[in-house]
Amino acid sequence: MVWWEKQARRRISIPSHLAEGITAYATEHAATERRRLTSWSSSWSAIREQAKLVLETYLKDQEDTMDVAILEVEIERDDDDDESLFDFDE
């Protein structure tokens, strides 16, 4: 259960039509969060694996250096991203 679903159940003394609306809103946002989790997990899996290899190698023997392939990452902005998050000139 995600945060949104927990929030829908917090209000107990409200009219049924309002409870239904809150539940629908929370369910929609919970589904959005799950899709985002799936998307980000997939997008970042190669980076997580590379980081795991680097950290395991580094922690195993800090004196030994290992050739690790460079992993280039291309980041795409979603259409629904908040524009202000990407305005770095301010």
DSSP string, 22-67: HHHHHHHHHHHHHHHHHHHHHHHHHHHHHHHHHHHHHHH-TT----
Task: Give 2-55 pLDDT, tens digit per residue.
Answer: 888 888 888 888 999 999 999 999 999 999 999 999 999 998 998 988 888 888
- Tell me the residue length of the chain: 90
Q: What is the pTM of this model?
A: 0.52
Report the pLDDT value the prediction gives residue 35, as an integer from 0 to 100: 92
